[in-house]
Each structure stands twice: as C-alpha cells, then as structure tokens.
Amino acid sequence: MVFELRTRYRGTPRAVREARNAIVDFARVCGFSSQLTVDIALAAGEALANAVEHGNKDLGYVGLFCRFEDGELTIEVRDEGHGFDYTAAVKRRREPTSVRGYGITIMHALMDEVAYVDRGTTVRLRKRLVEAAVEDEDGNGTQGA
C-alpha cells in the first residue's frame, strides 16, 4: 500500500511547526513507533527550518511531499531559494562553542538517507520501517520485537 501527502506552507517559523506535526502524523499512520517519529520530527524539522531561514528570504513557500511505500518513508522539503553547495556546507568546520550549524549532521545521524537535489533547494530524507513498531500502553515505542 502507498500513502502520500503533498502540501505547501508559507515560509514562516510557524509553518515549520505545522509541517513537522503533519510529518509526525503521517509517520504514525505508516506504522513508525513514537521513538522513531521523534527522530523523524527532529530531522524533518531541521530541513524545514533550513528551508524557511535560508531558502525563503522573501517569505516564499516551502513544499512538502511525503510518501510511504514498501516499508520506506520518503520526505521531501523544497524551498524557492537559490540553493547552496551541500559539499562545502558539510566540509565547513564548526567552532566547538557554536550553537548553530549542526542541522545537516543531525539529519544524517537520524535518517537512513539524506540527499540534496535541484542545487540544494530540495532535501530528501528517507527512513526505513525495518519491522513492525511495538508500543506499550504508555506510548513508549520500540522498533521490532
């Protein structure tokens, strides 16, 4: 079975929260555990925040596309900006005391795949649902049993 969500949001900080919540709801419907939806929300939130902050200087729109097929969730976040050099951004060293600039690292740590397309105006995140999620009555999830 294939599930899809396609929508767009105004490029504002409030829209980041709304889009992230839509992604979490979508992931839950697809069978991801509460624990994994937290990871998905954090990674997608980083992609959305980057699109709003860097890709929509003139308050354009952020496009969101989610697809679940064959046990894999794909999330695409698209902005209307000019893109960026992903390779240079990854190589850029962060100051140890910096509190910003870790979004790409966070996305890579939490998702199975992260890719930039269309000159960096679209980020594609993928997460596989390896086994059925198991949740107890308190909503604590584990992946697999």
Mean pLDDT of the region 115-132: 86
Cα 51 off chain centre by:
11
Residue 145 lies in a domain: no
The pLDDT assigned to 132 comes to 44
Q: What is the pLDDT of residues 40-51, one digit of tens each?
A: 999 999 999 989
Residue 67 lies in a domain: yes
What is the total count of domains within the chain?
A: 1
A 10 A CB-CB count for 133 gives 21
Residue 110 lies in a domain: yes
For residue 89, what are the domain limits?
3-138
Q: What is the pLDDT of residues 74-97, one digit of tens each?
A: 999 999 887 776 666 666 666 666
The pLDDT assigned to 66 comes to 98
Largest CA distance in the chain: 48
Query: CATH number, domain at 22?
Result: 3.30.565.10
Q: Could you tell me which residue, 102 or 57, shows the higher pLDDT?
A: 102
- SS percent in the chain: helix, strand, coil, step 5: 40, 30, 30
